[in-house]
Amino acid sequence: IISFPVTKTVDVFKSVVYRIPALFYDRNSETLLAFAEQRETADDASTKNLVMRRGTLKDESSGWSEFKIVEKAKLLNCRPMNPCPVFEKNTNTLFLFFICVEDGVTEQWQIKNCTNKARLCYITSEDLGQTWSDMRDLTDKLDEIKNWATFAVGPGHGLQMKTGRLIVPVHAYACVCASHSSCCCNIMCMCMCSCSDDRGSTWKLGKMFQTQSGECQMAEIFDGDKSSIYCNARSQGCCRVEAISENGGADFHTLCNATKLVETCSGCQGSVVSFPAQGEGADAEGDPKWLIYTHPCDPCKRFNLGVYVNKSPKDPSKWSKPWIINSGPSGYSDLAYIGNGWFACLMERGVKKETEQIASVVFSYDDIKQCPTMQCIMSCQCFKCP
């Protein structure tokens, strides 16, 4: 369906400050939907709107429509943040999850005061974002949220399992002190998922990780016919947190030997999707899936966006060295699998700072496989990080 001869990078959001990319691909219409936060400055508390653009892959131009504000993604006196689309294929319904945070309130203030000012919201569309439903607020329907200091979804995409279960990645700041559920003496950030088994009518939360973990994305993988959910999460250490759920996201166990994927100093969001095994791997029994992952590969700063592949998703030692998809300042990203071994990536990048623009690039598994320099450009030789 797609036969681009080379990778091609196209600006999607720029001029004012746009951050936090999220991407959805509809295979039937070969349409990309790109989402982002429109901000006054790079500061998280300055977000004003969620915006979107529609892109096509029917020719090499990868043309993008004029951007528009997602007007329905608003709550009075709040700022919408962290777009996270997930598609329900049985009803052809696109869910756009996000959080709404009280204007002027920062994440750090919420954590310090152990007072949540974020709300879990979503809107839906049955025509790929041409029109949207009114906003629904799930905050008061999920009892766990009242004990959190704050939380967010994604950012990036959610997923629908082969069984039909919808999964939205979540991370929350909560007290891990055993003495009292509302105690604020030991706040940690930990991942979990929100899921629905009735096509999005009702939602419930899985159990939190037992390991510190932040912004995350998830993908479905298979051992033969057995499904698992893989999670890749931001950490406060030198390596990413990787975890597996064997029960559809109800709970996860972290992979103790996950040391190959570098985390940047102070951390950065990354994206992961599963895709059908290619070449000789496609001959395995069942529905074999590989993983592809994007994240800045410099250990000291958000620099050089790398693409990694893992052909044995439950073994974190099997990640490839990264292929650099964007040299220079690089930040958050979101991946979508297009089909036939092709991918699209929406990424923050710039010349001086990674927050200068959001761009898209289309590439194939063959591009990664054939790259003779499939290694990280370690430009940072310093002994301390800024």
Q: SS3 of 44, please?
A: helix
Taking Cα atoms as reference points, which of 36, 51, 187, 52 lies closest to residue 107?
187
Q: Is residue 9 part of a domain?
A: no
Taking Cα atoms as reference points, which of 338, 333, 341 lies closest to residue 368?
341
Catalytic residue among 18, 173, 230, 332: 332
Nearest-5° Cα angle at 271, 270 to 272: 130
Position 383 pLDDT exceeds 50: no
Count of alpha carbons within 13 angstroms of residue 15, beta-carbon side: 4
Range of weakest confidence among 14-23, 173-182, 260-269, 357-366: 173-182
Catalytic residue among 30, 44, 103, 223: 44
pLDDT tens per residue, range 282-295: 777 778 899 999 99
Q: Do 306 and 322 form a contact (C-beta atoms < 8 A)?
A: yes
Arithmetic mean of pLDDT, 217-223 = 95
Q: Is residue 25 part of a domain?
A: yes
Arithmetic mean of pLDDT, 5-23 = 77
CATH number for position 305: 2.120.10.10
Q: Which domain holds residue 49?
A: 17-369
Position 304 pLDDT exceeds 70: yes
Q: How many CB atoms lie within 10 A of CB 242?
A: 31
Is 332 catalytic? The answer is: yes
Q: Is residue 378 part of a domain?
A: no
Catalytic residue among 348, 354, 356, 367: 348
Position 343 pLDDT exceeds 50: yes
Tokens 């920062």, located at residue? 106
What was the pLDDT predicted at 17?
92
What was the pLDDT predicted at 181?
55
The CA distance from 384 to 246, in Å, is 39
Position 138 pLDDT exceeds 50: yes
Is 251 catalytic? The answer is: no
Is 107 catalytic? The answer is: no
**In Å, how far from its chain's centre is CA 305?**
15
Who's near 347: CB < 8 A, 6+ residues apart?
21, 294, 305, 325, 326, 330, 331, 332, 333, 334, 358, 359, 360, 361
Q: Is residue 8 part of a domain?
A: no
Please report which confidence band the pLDDT of residue 175 belongs to, taking 50, 70 and 90 as the band edges. Answer: confident
The size of the chain, in residues, is 386
What was the pLDDT predicted at 60?
46
Please report which confidence band the pLDDT of residue 59 belongs to, taking 50, 70 and 90 as the band edges. Answer: low
Q: Is residue 381 part of a domain?
A: no
Q: Is residue 23 part of a domain?
A: yes
pLDDT tens per residue, range 61-85: 457 888 899 999 999 999 999 999 9
Q: What's the total number of domains in the chain?
A: 1
pLDDT tens per residue, range 83-101: 999 999 999 999 999 999 9
Report how far apart, in Å, the C-alpha atoms of 332 and of each of 70, 115, 216, 364 are. 21, 27, 11, 20
Q: Is residue 384 part of a domain?
A: no
Q: Is residue 181 part of a domain?
A: yes
